[in-house]
């Protein structure tokens, strides 16, 4: 993302001009914009003009509009962001107060005006505009009959293809149906990879499975590539990494991302970092359960005691509609930072973030043990 201009005053009010460059940026923008913000952007509007005789004329005009955001829609598969709201800059085509839906497009600048830019927002803009952050990997987790082709960028894990096929088992006396089924399955995965993975962009392609499925698949793919002279695969053969996972379901990506051989390759990816912290959280829960808290009430109590060493918080909480609630979370983040704590904002588009979301969305590793609270934090949600 490119930062074109930043005009924020001391109180935190102002506008920022941004140019999104890739799908990842769309995710950032989705997290930045909340209801009530002002977005200015060039857009196309269908206009109907009626002549004096009553005949009407339809035409499309490109015009720049500013709207008050009422609704934000993010399509995770296509990475398209649509913002709906009322127009506040009247021009000759669009009346004041008319509804319009802006599409935020890549490489087209837009202005976002907020009445309050908080620290979380500003930080997000910093990270989004940091070009070194970008690193894409593709991962295929599979088991016999099930495979997920995923793209992992620093803030998102997107499942591009899900393959779910029935493979007949080996039967008494023959295993030919089984083998036929397997080949069909491998073919589907291979097509999935060819279709969804951009070999110019991804650093590596991780193939993970229990048992020998990954090896068999790799063999199959290379064989097929040689047969059909598919240069794309043969040239990128070195980008494929084989590793172990316990199943072919999406959540076993977590295991993949903690695999040492994978970590060394993707160390700067946010996904791996998040997985690692969450893992630490669980290990701590196991060994020293009084030093980890989760649930809003528990974490707030720990924060009040200045006990939080690392705060794990899901970005989903910042996207909430309730301004007061959002402020509460911002306050929590800021207090932790002030007391020299570490704040990790998890992307809810990653598997670890998904898991944190289910674990009330906020958790903390404490500096010192604290007694468990009487009332129940885990029951909220």
Q: Rule CB under 8 A: which residues touch another protein? A: 143, 145, 164, 166, 168-175, 177-179, 210-212, 216, 244, 246-247, 249-252, 254-255, 282, 285-286, 289, 294-295, 351, 355-360, 372, 376-379, 381
Smallest gap from residue 200 Cβ to another protein (A): 32
In order, the DSSP letters of 352-363 are HHHHHHHTTTEE
120 with 333: CB under 8 angstroms?
yes
Residue closer to another protein, measured from CB, 111 or 216? 216
Q: How far is the CB of 285 from another protein (least distance, A)?
A: 5
Residues 6+ apart with CB under 8 A from 56: 48, 49, 50
Nearest in space to 195 (alpha carbons), one of 242, 149, 136, 241: 149
Cross-strand partners of 111: 17, 40
Going from the C-alpha of 182 to that of each of 213, 285, 341, the distances in angstroms are 9, 41, 50
Nearer to another protein, 26 or 146 (CB): 146
Nearer to another protein, 168 or 369 (CB): 168
Pick 37 or 144: Cβ nearer another protein? 144
Q: ∠ CA(280), CA(282), CA(285), 5° rounding?
A: 110
Lay out the sheet containing 308-314: strands in order across: 292-294, 362-366, 308-314, 342-346
Strand runs labelled E in 115-182: 136-143, 146-152, 157-164
Are 290 and 372 a contacting pair, CB within 8 Å? yes
Smallest gap, in angstroms, from Cβ of residue 169 to another protein?
4
User: How far, rounded to the nearest angstrom, does the alpha carbon of residue 203 sit from its chain's CA centroid?
Assistant: 18
Q: Which long-range contacts (CB under 8 A, 24 or more apart) does 282-291 make?
A: 284/365, 288/369, 290/366, 290/369, 290/370, 290/371, 290/372, 291/365, 291/366, 291/367, 291/368, 291/369, 291/370
Q: Is 113 or 296 the residue whose CB approaches another protein more closely?
A: 296
Nearer to another protein (CB atom), residue 40 or residue 143: 143
Of 54 and 371, CB closest to another protein: 371
Minimum distance, C-beta of residue 211 to another protein, in the bound complex (Å): 4
Beta carbon of residue 215, minimum distance to another protein (angstroms, whole number) = 9
**Min dist. Cβ of residue 164 to another protein (A):** 8
Q: How far is the CB of 227 from another protein (least distance, A)?
A: 19
DSSP string, 260-295: HHHHHHHTT-HHHHHHHHHHHHHHHHHH-GGGEEES
Shortest distance (Å) from residue 339 CB to another protein? 24
In the complex, minimum distance from the CB of residue 341 to another protein, in angstroms, rounded to a whole number: 21
Q: Which residues pair with 133 in a beta bridge?
A: none
In terms of CB distance, is 59 or 368 closer to another protein?
368
- Residue number, 67 or 150, with CB nearest to another protein: 150
Nearer to another protein (CB atom), residue 269 or residue 297: 297
Q: What are phi and psi of 84, to 5 degrees?
A: -110, 140
Residue 376 near residue 301 (C-beta atoms within 8 A): no
Asked whether 197 and 149 are in contact (CB, 8 A), the reply is yes
Min dist. Cβ of residue 267 to another protein (A): 21
């Amino acid at each position: 993302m490119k930062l074109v201009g930043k005009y924020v005053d001391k109180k935190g009010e102002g506008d920022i001009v941004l140019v999104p460059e890739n799908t990842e940026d769309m995710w950032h923008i989705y997290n930045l914009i909340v209801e009530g913000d002002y977005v200015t952007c060039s857009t196309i509007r269908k206009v109907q003009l009626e002549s004096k005789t009553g005949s009407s004329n339809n035409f499309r005009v490109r015009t720049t509009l500013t709207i008050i955001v009422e609704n934000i829609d993010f399509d995770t598969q296509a990475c398209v962001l649509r913002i709906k709201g009322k127009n506040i800059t009247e021009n000759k085509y669009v009346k004041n107060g008319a509804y319009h839906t802006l599409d935020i497009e890549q490489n087209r600048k837009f202005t976002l005006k907020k009445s309050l830019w908080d620290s979380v927002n500003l930080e997000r803009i910093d990270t989004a505009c940091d070009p070194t952050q970008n690193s894409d990997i593709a991962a295929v987790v599979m088991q016999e009959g099930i495979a997920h082709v995923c793209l992992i960028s620093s803030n998102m894990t997107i499942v591009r293809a899900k393959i779910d096929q029935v493979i007949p088992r080996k039967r008494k006396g023959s295993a030919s149906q089984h083998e036929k089924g397997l080949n069909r399955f491998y073919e589907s995965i291979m097509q999935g990879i060819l279709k969804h993975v951009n070999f110019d962009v991804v650093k590596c392609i991780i193939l993970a499975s229990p048992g020998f499925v990954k090896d068999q698949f790799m063999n199959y793919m290379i064989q097929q590539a040689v047969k059909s002279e598919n240069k794309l695969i043969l040239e990128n053969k070195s980008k494929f990494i084989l590793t172990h996972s316990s199943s072919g379901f999406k959540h076993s990506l977590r295991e993949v991302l903690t695999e040492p051989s994978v970590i060394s390759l993707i160390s700067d990816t946010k996904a791996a970092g998040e997985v690692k912290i969450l893992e630490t959280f669980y290990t701590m829960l196991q060994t020293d359960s009084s030093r980890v808290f989760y649930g809003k009430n528990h974490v707030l109590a720990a924060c009040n005691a200045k006990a939080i060493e690392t705060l794990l918080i899901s970005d989903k909480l910042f996207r909430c509609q309730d301004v007061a609630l959002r402020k509460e979370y911002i306050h929590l983040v800021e207090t932790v930072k002030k007391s020299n704590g570490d704040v990790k904002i998890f992307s809810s588009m990653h598997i670890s973030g998904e898991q944190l979301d289910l674990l009330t969305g906020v958790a903390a590793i404490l500096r010192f043990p604290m007694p468990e609270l009487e009332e129940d934090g885990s029951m909220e949600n």
